[in-house]
Amino acid sequence: MAELGRVLSATFSRNLASGAYASATEEADDLYAAGRILDGSADTYWRPREGTEQASIVVELPQEATFDTIVLQEHIQSGQRIEQFRIEAEREGRWQPLYRHTVVGYKRICRFPETAAKRLRLTIEASRWCPTLSAFEVYRSTKN
């Protein structure tokens, strides 16, 4: 158990999205701006206008990074709304798929083969009413 604790602590110790920039296909207003997903607070979040059920967010990391884990969190106080999503990395000018799943809920840890990129895109393909997102974190797992 102690070894597992050390691996988890090492893996999630450095969020590569710290200092990143986020933009969305739409935002409800400044209170729900895309950048809220990067501020480290579970109390702030992004959301599009009422009634929107599909949207995308692009996260631009401060520099190209190698990673294999993305952590997403919905603003769970608003309810679980995301029903289907995909994550892509921009490489050589094209969006390449990394991960696809259904619900995010309180927290979804998305694991995929190691990749390097500067720009990432989260596309919410289906949601209940308007989706919310309070966190988008990027990590590189430690391998022994």
Q: Partners of 72 in the beta sheet?
A: 108, 136
| CATH level 3 topology of 18-139 | Jelly Rolls (2.60.120)
Helices (H), the chain: 2-11
3-state secondary structure of 17: coil
CA dist 133 and 8 (Å) reads 23
pLDDT in tens, the chain (144 residues): 777 777 767 677 899 999 999 999 999 999 999 999 999 999 999 999 999 999 999 999 999 999 999 999 999 999 999 999 999 999 999 999 999 999 999 999 999 999 999 999 999 999 998 999 999 999 998 764
